[in-house]
């Protein structure tokens, strides 16, 4: 399977997020190692996998559109 490998800066440009937000808020919370990014050869460099990120952004967007968020954290499906 072929993947498009992106640096943090390239991913930030593509999804219109700040690179710092990706590093501090999304990585390891939403973007998971082995699924959304890899560390080639066990090093410190991180390469993001575009196809799984794009797929999961679309899936999450579809799931969220099914209901109306409520103030207490719930969702109204009516």
pLDDT computed for residue 62 by the predictor = 62
The pTM of the whole model exceeds 0.85: no
Residue 15: alpha-carbon gap to chain centroid = 9
pLDDT at 1: 63
For position 71, what pLDDT does the model report? Answer: 78
pLDDT score for 58:
87
Specify the pLDDT at position 65: 57
Those residues with Cβ within 8 angstroms of residue 46's Cβ, 6 or more apart along the chain or in another chain? 7, 8, 27, 37, 38, 39
List the structure tokens of 61: 């967007």
User: Which pLDDT belongs to residue 66?
Assistant: 61
DSSP string, the chain: ----EE-HHHHHHHHT--HHHIIIIIBTTTB-BTTTEE-GGGSS--EEEHHHHHHHHHHHHHHHTTSEE-TTS-EE--
Instruction: For the chain of 78 residues, list the mean pLDDT of each consecutive stretch of 10.
Output: 91 96 94 96 96 90 65 71
């Amino acid at each position: 399977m072929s993947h498009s490998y992106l640096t943090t800066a390239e991913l930030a440009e593509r999804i219109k997020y700040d690179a710092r937000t990706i590093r501090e808020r999304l990585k390891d919370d939403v973007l998971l190692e082995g699924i959304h990014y890899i560390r080639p050869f066990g090093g410190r460099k991180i390469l993001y996998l575009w196809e799984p990120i794009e797929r999961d952004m679309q899936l999450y967007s579809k799931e969220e559109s099914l209901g109306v968020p409520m103030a207490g954290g719930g969702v109204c499906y009516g």
